[in-house]
A and B are shown apart, each in its own frame.
Chain A
């Protein structure tokens, strides 16, 4: 290939890649970094976490510093609720105003004969009605008479009361000044639901900005000058907050790292031109990686953009190696050596990234593909294009040689490393069962404590905990509702037994059509009802014609159309139904029954009872953690496979058992020492540590490739040593900075690779050997 053709190909490739990248949408869906689902329940769970109604919920706390000012908070919360209702970013807002529930109450009352569990043929016989009237008289002389009296002529049998008792098992939230309040009386609570799904971070951010503006306006309107503050919680809020934090950290740290690394390179190499060119392999590699992702996935994830560059930052090393180790153009043998080493370095790093592709996390797969493509293209550009652009080589040699003239030095290092490796193994073994953490909070981008406000507001607003859920799925909505009805007595029994405090089933407000028809069939014809009622009223203190509206209502209910979900649309019950009766992508229907106050000790019996009815008890915390553990195990296997691939590559290239085992010992020692140090200092390892360890293996293999086969010629050798040391220093700077991040994910990767870089260099130095001149 002529030189011009070669450059034209590069230019064309850059243009094509640029075009592909420019037209690809940027995704911000954090769920991509949650594990992909394995079982049907997990799939449902993942779907709900991603796009469920619960994922659109924003918990809003309007706080005052002192309970004495609660009224200010209440007024602001009430005005805010009104404003949010008018705001197009939100579909729903509620703050405990009793009037808000009036509409739902009316809907339930109108449909009472289709909804009440009391409706049976026996209820409408003279005996049944007699018993009902006795109950009614007691209620009308009770303290709750003002509540019962308005309904009495229409509902003497108390269907509404039976219905309310069934669907309102939990005590209602604490209310103060007409608004929900936390127990300490300082925070008024508003619940809002965003129009866009929780995973759409852009939309969530806009909604939160609108919310903040609405709050400011509400405060100025309802309590000007008062010290009222706003707190937000909920899945969307966390997503926005964590992205902002990662972006902030990444920007600050990458600027700092660029300045420090550029300064170091300038200081050592004294070539501004090289500084610019060092970015060429990384830049083209990143562009190619993004283009492949855009073509393969149809979108580029914002996290890939952020982390990917960190991961292929290793490619800066290639420029250093090429610049420093490049031999004179006529030294074919010397250059061939370098290219072979570079090829090996690229391939072994790429093998490490393979594990990421196989991790099962959609986001990590994308990151792995990006890094794999990026590193290969970077290597190719460094090999085929960079030499022509670089300034003439200006050899930089290490002032000392390695392996040292006195073998005792290296021997000492080897002994030291063996000791450290043994200590690391002991450390890991001692912690063996608890080496891995699969808790959700450990990988949460915000770290522990982020859920506290959420839990406090939830607990005080008596919202169902999101932890427990009973899920069932059937081909049709009717079958799903019937299943939920069959499940009800089982759950009621479990409730009586103390396994749970309360549950909310959608079938209680929307019975199956079969159930609704059965209730309709239980209602007598008008004349029969009139007769039975006359007989029942006669011996009582009630007036003979007190219940004419009742007879009319029953007759109307006999002919009423059956209830459908649309009946409740627009109100609180409609929201609840939409969250609990879910149309699945495959056309099936899932019923989600929220469960409150599960007794952890009795959870297994509850789980078994629910399972016997063809439904599943999902423990969000444990199930997600189990899912994480599954993926971590998969990732371990993938990592081992990646390791094996590195060995195969080395063996295929080097064809020397001694050399390969030397390198493998160096790489393995680096990984073991890093893992041991992490267990010692971080306590336990997460999935992100594991992924970062792969990077350690990749970087360690680069050092091993150069140091385990040093040139016999002292000048070349010391040049190689200088380039490796410089590459190591730049990598260490980048990741050590990353480890100072407060974002757990960034901190984990930074710490792991920072330690790993030093361990890798030390291990390779311990295994360093000079190539025999005959090789």
Chain B
């Protein structure tokens, strides 16, 4: 399956780069900071984009991690749309502060609900993080997280640790990996112990 192959490629790539970085003590702090800024400049340069996504929840609640599939659309600076196809159709459109959720029930009836992002802090944190990353807005992300670049470009990996009150919004740590300006994988480690993996690839 393409996704699995993709994941494998991402993991292998990450490992390879990790090995290289670990053996290069010369990759000093200053270079990392410069690299991080370069990376976010690459993110910003991507502009509007649509990606296929697979989301897996690794949780003690489940025997096997359930998967959600669909497309993720981002238009800078603040429009993020998550369009799930399976296990059921659901569209979440977040434009700046407003959240619109359209769900298709088992009976095929579509229910639409609106909310303000700030009233759902658990969601707000994830959305702000993903939006800031895809927009290449390093300043915003730095206000929320301590960012550590674990592996340099081109096959990069970064880790984000919440600055104040870690875990307040349900997330303990975030790690991201990719190649060049492409983000391939984001993983959220939640306070519940769950890990949510978000894998991104070219939309078909």
Contact = CB atoms under 8 A, between A and B. Distances in A.
Interface in A160-199: 171-176, 178
Contact of B60 (A145, A175, A546): A546
B82 interface: yes
A138 B88 contact: yes
A637 B55 CA distance: 78
Interface in B91-126: 92, 97, 101, 103, 114-123, 126
B23 interface: no
Give the contact-size bracket for chain A: 20 to 34
A149 B66 contact: no
Interface in A717-732: none
B92 A143 contact: yes
B25 interface: no
A543 B97 contact: no
B5 interface: no
A140 interface: yes
B171 to A, nearest CB: 8
A141 B57 contact: yes
A138 B103 CA distance: 10
Contact of B116 (A137, A143, A174): A174
A175 B116 contact: yes
A715 interface: no
Contacts of A140: 57, 59, 61, 66
Nearest to B122: A146
A173 B122 contact: no
Contacts of A152: 61
B64 A172 contact: no
Contacts of B60: 543, 546
Contacts of B196: 145
A96 B82 CA distance: 27
Nearest to B82: A143
Question: Max chain A CB contacts within 10 Å: which of B92, B101, B116, B192?
Answer: B116
A633 B64 CA distance: 77
A775 interface: no
Interface string B179-204: 00000000000111010100000000
A171 B66 CA distance: 31
A144 B61 contact: no
Contacts of A546: 60-62
A292 B63 CA distance: 86
Nearest to A540: B63
A447 interface: no
A396 to B, nearest CB: 77
A283 to B, nearest CB: 63
Given A140-B61, A149-B194, A98 B118 contact: yes
B115 A171 contact: yes
Interface in A106-153: 137-138, 140-147, 149-150, 152-153
B116 A173 contact: yes
A102 to B, nearest CB: 9
Interface in A82-103: 96, 98, 101
B61 A153 contact: yes
Contacts of A178: 118
A567 interface: no
Nearest to A143: B92
A141 B84 CA distance: 9
B123 A146 contact: yes
Question: Max chain B CB contacts within 10 Å: which of A142, A147, A546?
Answer: A142
Question: Max chain B CB contacts within 10 Å: which of A101, A141, A143, A176?
Answer: A143
A39 interface: no
Given A150-B122, A172-B115, A142 B90 contact: yes
A542 interface: yes
Contact of A138 (B64, B87, B126): B87
B130 to A, nearest CB: 11
B87 A543 contact: no
Contacts of B121: 98
Nearest to A97: B118
A146 B126 CA distance: 9
A142 B84 CA distance: 8
B81 to A, nearest CB: 10
B13 interface: no
Contacts of B194: 149
Interface in B45-93: 55, 57, 59-64, 66-68, 82, 84, 87-88, 90, 92
Nearest to A179: B118
Interface string A486-523: 00000000000000000000000000000000000000
Contacts of B101: 143-144
A541 interface: yes
Nearest to A146: B122
Contacts of A142: 68, 84, 90, 103
Contacts of A149: 59, 170, 190, 192, 194
A147 B118 contact: no
A172 B121 CA distance: 14
Contacts of B59: 140, 149
Nearest to B126: A146
B97 A175 contact: yes
Contacts of B114: 171
A713 to B, nearest CB: 87
Nearest to B124: A98
Contacts of B123: 143-144, 146-147
A541 B84 contact: no
Question: Max chain B CB contacts within 10 Å: which of A138, A153, A173?
Answer: A138
B203 to A, nearest CB: 18
Contacts of B88: 138
Contacts of B122: 146-147, 150
Contacts of B103: 142
Contacts of A153: 61
A172 B119 contact: yes
A152 B61 CA distance: 9
A146 B62 CA distance: 15
A176 B97 CA distance: 7
A174 to B, nearest CB: 6
B188 to A, nearest CB: 8
A101 B118 CA distance: 12
A175 B119 CA distance: 8
Given A172-B115, A173-B116, A175-B118, A143 B90 contact: yes
A98 B61 contact: no
Contacts of A542: 61-63
B190 to A, nearest CB: 7
Given A146-B170, A542-B63, A172 B116 contact: yes
A546 B126 CA distance: 25
Interface string A729-768: 0000000000000000000000000000000000000000
Contact of B57 (A145, A150, A543): A145
Contacts of A543: 60-63
Interface in B116-166: 116-123, 126
A541 B82 CA distance: 24
A212 to B, nearest CB: 28
Nearest to B61: A546
Contacts of B97: 174-176
B192 A150 contact: yes
Closest 9 CB pairs of A and B: A175-B118, A143-B92, A146-B122, A546-B61, A141-B68, A172-B119, A175-B116, A141-B66, A147-B122
Given A144-B101, A542-B63, 8 more contacts: A137-B66, A137-B87, A146-B122, A147-B123, A149-B190, A171-B114, A172-B116, A541-B62
20 contacts: A96-B118, A137-B66, A137-B87, A140-B57, A140-B66, A142-B103, A143-B84, A143-B92, A143-B123, A144-B101, A144-B120, A145-B57, A150-B122, A150-B191, A172-B115, A172-B116, A174-B116, A175-B117, A541-B63, A546-B61
